[in-house]
A and B are shown apart, each in its own frame.
Chain A
């Protein structure tokens, strides 16, 4: 059974903390994505990576950075957490070619207080 696994389902952090969200996939997918999901706004792309050490900004990269040191792992970093980053974060992966189906992790509900 293919899997995308996010390290935490729920996370509570304080304003100003550096926060790491981890995502691991076991499908040998080239592409990995971080989305933010907010009610009424759908899924918005923060960053994506198409190869190890490669990354591209999405639609809302401000306040975030990413790291992809290994093909199976893609980390989202909140450099200095703020209350407006309270949200649901979804990781996804896709193969470089094929059916373009995205596989998602279970999501991390982050609350910044």
Chain B
């Protein structure tokens, strides 16, 4: 069975500092897609960053980057220069390209002023 595990229920970081959110997954698939989604207190879930498993290069979107370790089945999110607007629930998600998405249980991140 495919699973996604986020082992950090809550984290906090000082404004302007860097924080890393962890995610591990389990699958027997070779081709798949990994995502980090952000759900701010207003609740609209939005995509932060996306990684295709066949790409070795780690994805980057402005202050957000991932450390994708395919062999270790690890997909962590690094947020640099943290801002107050980064306060949110972050979900790691997996899909093999079928209809099904598997989500982790989420990490609640609080950025402190």
Contact = CB atoms under 8 A, between A and B. Distances in A.
B43 A107 contact: yes
A88 B99 CA distance: 21
A49 to B, nearest CB: 9
A101 B99 contact: no
B103 interface: yes
A46 interface: no
Contact of B103 (A43, A50, A88, A101): A43
Interface stretch (B44-52, B63-71, B72-80): B44-52
Contacts of A41: 105
Contacts of A104: 37, 44-46
How many residues of B sit at the interface, in one of the four size bands? 20 to 34
Contacts of B9: 40
Interface of A: 31, 33, 35, 40-43, 45, 48, 50, 56, 58, 88, 90, 92, 99-102, 104-107
Interface of B: 6, 9, 33, 35, 37, 42-47, 50, 91, 93, 95, 97, 99-101, 103-106
25 contacts: A33-B99, A40-B9, A42-B91, A42-B103, A42-B104, A42-B105, A43-B101, A43-B103, A58-B100, A88-B43, A90-B45, A99-B50, A100-B33, A100-B97, A101-B35, A101-B50, A102-B37, A102-B93, A102-B101, A104-B44, A106-B42, A106-B43, A106-B44, A107-B43, A107-B45
